[in-house]
Amino acid sequence: MPLRARFSLALVALFALFAVLFGCSKPADPGGAARIKLALNWVPEPEFGGFYAARDGGAYKKAGLDVEIQGGGAGVPVVQMVAAGQADFGVAGADEVLTARARGADVIPIFAVYQTSPQGIMAHASRGAKGIPDVLASGTLAVELGAPYAAFLKKKHGFDRAKIVPYDGGVARFVADKDFAQQCFVTSEPIAATQKGSDPQVFLVADEGFNPYVAVVITRRALFKEQPDRVRAFARATQEGWRAYLDDPAPANAAMGKLNTSMSAATFTAAAAAQRPLIETDETKKRGLGTMTRARWDTLAQQLVELGILAKAPSAEEYLMAVE
Amino acid sequence: MAQPAPSRLGAVLAPLLALAAILAVWEGLTRALAVPAYLLPPPSAVLAAAAHDAGALASGALMTGRAALIGFLMSAVFGALAAIALGSSRLLEKAFYPYTIFLQTVPIVAIAPLLVLWFGPGLRAVAVSAFIVSVFPVIANTLAGLRSVDPGLRDLFRLYGAGRFATLVKLSIPSAVPSIVTGLRVASGLAVIGTIVGEFVAGFSEDSAGLGILVLSSYRQLRTDLLFAAVLTAAALGLALFGAVNLVGALLLRRWHPSEQNR
């Protein structure tokens, strides 16, 4: 029946179209080299500079790794992606690592970019605040409710005097309102607000006593058990990349600027400079970039228990096995 | 009862003049009131941003357009097939139709991160997000079309002893085409929205950013001009998809259906 034939021909043609549209999205299948995927939790920014430096500067290649960096967005489920094997490595916060582990995602940290958390509260300098307690005393504060750092500040200082509103990812309301304060990454929002003529003053949450490692590289524990050498090689090459990025951020900034076109070259430079003291500390000068200590992880676990985010503190032996 | 047909020139000029007027008022007001560009950029600034970041917008439109097209085509095919399946039996329809409504009420923002886990980051998760958002109007409209076949014609088919398949292919589906096209029109715009939301969480595909990522990062950088340019580009994609549906609909229908005659 020609009609029926035409009908099925149309269907076949449509499915072929799908195949073509989907097909060209797939990169060439892995050949001989070890193809590895690193998932970022945000769009390419200086926060990830060392990874791009390791990729473009040849540190990964030298370690026998062909690394594909998967840029992220808002709320990318990086920890789950790594746990499910959709990415071999990922970038997440230390608090996320512990909560995900408590929910059964067997991921382990191998490298911590930020030794001091860049999480801060930014207020207008004209308010003359001396610290976070002053900022919390009046005005409006935008925070990501439910974030562990916010729970910590709430427990320590109380959120009953300032008006608390949800953080929306931008700085528009901050720039428009002198009594508006908000959470920020030292490396991001204060720079954007300054460029719009504001006078932001930043207080680190770390100075209040809550200082998880941030931009922690994680992997699956199963992957570490199967291929410990490859995981260690990845960590070492990443360290090499960060060294190169701290010495000269320009090449990696240019590479990231091509991907993240909304961020100007000047902003890349400013952010790279602002984050440097958080990445290279006295501790890393002794023990190497990306270093992590058991004491820091234990403190964080204890704090998360006190905040009611974790039921009980896990033992560091369960997850710190890949740390040299 | 025919209304006097407006001149062709008028049909083209009227919306263009309206657009020019709106842009002029917008430009004038933002300048006169000195509205900061990060709150509401004047059209000239949006245009300048579009020119400055033309490359990023073009590659973003390509990524977003491809994902929206895949999601839309999936909606068209699976939506129409699902509706035909449901339409073939009252029992099936009663059993499953309520659950298709579920698709319409799914808060896509909430489940988008799960799509990334289920289908992988990048294009696949984004296309599925576009599909989920846009499939319901196709199902609902196709089903309505299949149900509203002229009963006289249905009797005629029965009288001549036409089988189920012949009735479906020669009567029900052809007479449902106008409804299907209506469903596809609605789906075309929704597919782009679903794509943008999907991109927020699915991140980059193959090292290039779709318009959703561009919206996200330009908001963070307070580049409201670029944000507007990206949003308008997304709207243009939706319009292009809508136009394509209209064109295909007109080609299919103009021979015989009153809705496409007298145009």
Core vs surface per residue A233-256: b (16+ CB within 10 A) or e:
bbbbbbbbbbbbbbeebeebbebb
Q: Are B185 and B76 in contact (CB under 8 A)?
A: no
Core vs surface per residue B235-246: b (16+ CB within 10 A) or e:
eebbebbbeebe
Q: Are B201 and A74 in contact (CB under 8 A)?
A: yes
Residue B1 pLDDT grade (very low, low, confident, very high; cuts 50, 70, 90):
very low
Minimal Cβ distance to B213: which of A39, A73, A267: A73
Contact B77 A171 (CB under 8 A): no
What is the complex's ipTM, to 2 decimals?
A: 0.71
Contact B216 A7 (CB under 8 A): no
- Measured between beta carbons, the chain A residues lying within 8 angstroms of B224 are 172
Distance, C-alpha B243 to centroid of its chain = 10
Probe site for chain A from B70, B217, B219, B227 (most A CB atoms < 10 A): B217
Residue A27 has pLDDT above 60, yes or no: no
Q: If contacts are CB pairs under 8 Å, which of residues 83-122 in chain B contact chain A?
A: 112-114, 116-117, 120-122
Average pLDDT estimate for A172-176: 90
> Does residue A190 share a domain with residue A143?
yes
Task: Determine the pLDDT at residue B110.
Answer: 85
- Measured between beta carbons, the chain A residues lying within 8 angstroms of B167 are none
Mean of all residue pLDDT scores within chain A? 90
Query: What percent of chain A is modeled with pLDDT above 70?
Result: 90
Q: If contacts are CB pairs under 8 Å, which of residues 214-253 in chain B contact chain A?
A: 214, 216-224, 226
> Does residue A271 share a domain with residue A155?
no
Structural domain spans, chain B: 60-257
Contact A71 B36 (CB under 8 A): no
Task: Determine the pLDDT at residue B209.
Answer: 85
Task: Write out pLDDT tens, residues A75-105.
Answer: 788 999 999 899 999 999 999 999 999 988 9
Contact A81 B117 (CB under 8 A): yes
Kind and range of the H or E run holding A165: strand A163-166
Say what the alpha-carbon torsion angle A187, A193, A195, A196 is, to the nearest 10 degrees.
170
For residue A106, being part of any structural domain is answered with yes
Judged by a CB distance cut-off of 8 A, whether residue B168 touches chain A is: no
Contact B116 A170 (CB under 8 A): no
Core vs surface per residue B13-46: b (16+ CB within 10 A) or e:
eeeeeeeeeeeeebeeebeeeeeebbebbbbebb
Task: Determine the pLDDT at residue A30.
Answer: 43
> Does residue A136 share a domain with residue A249?
no
Task: Write out pLDDT tens, residues A160-170.
Answer: 899 988 888 88
Choosing from A208, A238, A264, the residue where a domain stops is: A208
**CATH code of A252's domain:** 3.40.190.10
Contact B169 A4 (CB under 8 A): yes
Residue A6 has pLDDT above 80, yes or no: no
Whole-Å CA distances, A104 to A10, B110, B217: 46, 21, 32
Contact A259 B204 (CB under 8 A): yes
Task: Write out pLDDT tens, residues A283-295.
Answer: 999 999 999 999 9
Using CA coordinates, name the residue in chain A closest to B213. A73
Give the global pTM: 0.82
Minimal Cβ distance to A86: which of B55, B120, B206: B120
> Does residue A125 share a domain with residue A109?
no
Residue A239 has pLDDT above 60, yes or no: yes
Task: Determine the pLDDT at residue B100.
Answer: 84
- Give which of A91, A46, A30, A10 is closest to A242, Cα–Cα: A46
Mean of all residue pLDDT scores within chain B? 88
CA dist B187 and A17 (Å) reads 19
> Does residue A227 share a domain with residue A177?
no
Query: What percent of chain A is modeled with pLDDT above 90?
Result: 76
> Does residue A143 share a domain with residue A63?
no
The segment with the largest mean pLDDT, out of A199-203, B120-124, B250-254, is A199-203
SS3 A120: strand
Contact B216 A43 (CB under 8 A): yes
Probe site for chain A from B108, B116, B206 (most A CB atoms < 10 A): B116
Minimal Cβ distance to A170: which of B123, B203, B222: B222
Probe site for chain B from A66, A76, A262, A268 (most B CB atoms < 10 A): A262
The set of residues, in sequence order, having a beta carbon less than 8 Å from that of A62 and lying 6+ positions away, is: A237
Choosing from A186, A208, A230, the residue where a domain stops is: A208
Judged by a CB distance cut-off of 8 A, whether residue B207 touches chain A is: yes
Task: Write out pLDDT tens, residues B196-212.
Answer: 999 988 877 667 789 99
For residue A25, being part of any structural domain is answered with no
> Does residue A312 share a domain with residue A228?
yes
> Does residue A218 share a domain with residue A81?
yes
Choosing from A145, A176, A208, the residue where a domain stops is: A208
CA dist B132 and B79 (Å) reads 10
Name the minimum distance, in Å, from the CA of B200 to any CA of chain A.
5
Range of the domain at A61: 34-116+212-318
Contact B38 A175 (CB under 8 A): yes
- Measured between beta carbons, the chain A residues lying within 8 angstroms of B70 are 18, 21-22
The CATH number of the domain covering residues in B60-257: 1.10.3720.10
Q: How many domains does chain A have?
A: 2
Minimal Cβ distance to A170: which of B53, B170, B220: B220
Minimal Cβ distance to B38: which of A7, A43, A172: A172
Average pLDDT estimate for B9-30: 91
Name the minimum distance, in Å, from the CA of B256 to any CA of chain A.
19
Distance, C-alpha B44 to centroid of its chain = 28
> Does residue A150 share a domain with residue A45?
no
> Does residue A125 share a domain with residue A100?
no
Residue A25 has pLDDT above 50, yes or no: no
Average pLDDT estimate for A233-257: 97
CA torsion sign, A225 to A227 to A229 to A235?
negative
Contact A172 B39 (CB under 8 A): yes
DSSP A203-239: EEGGGGT----EEEEEEEHHHHHH-HHHHHHHHHHHH
Judged by a CB distance cut-off of 8 A, whether residue B36 touches chain A is: yes
> Does residue A248 share a domain with residue A277?
yes
Task: Determine the pLDDT at residue A103.
Answer: 85
For residue A151, being part of any structural domain is answered with yes
Q: If contacts are CB pairs under 8 Å, which of residues 124-143 in chain B contact chain A?
A: 124, 127
CA dist A212 and A74 (Å) reads 20
> Does residue A112 share a domain with residue A249?
yes
Please give the residue that has the higher pLDDT: either A217 or A22. Answer: A217
- Measured between beta carbons, the chain A residues lying within 8 angstroms of B74 are 18
Residue A42 has pLDDT above 80, yes or no: yes
Contact A43 B209 (CB under 8 A): yes
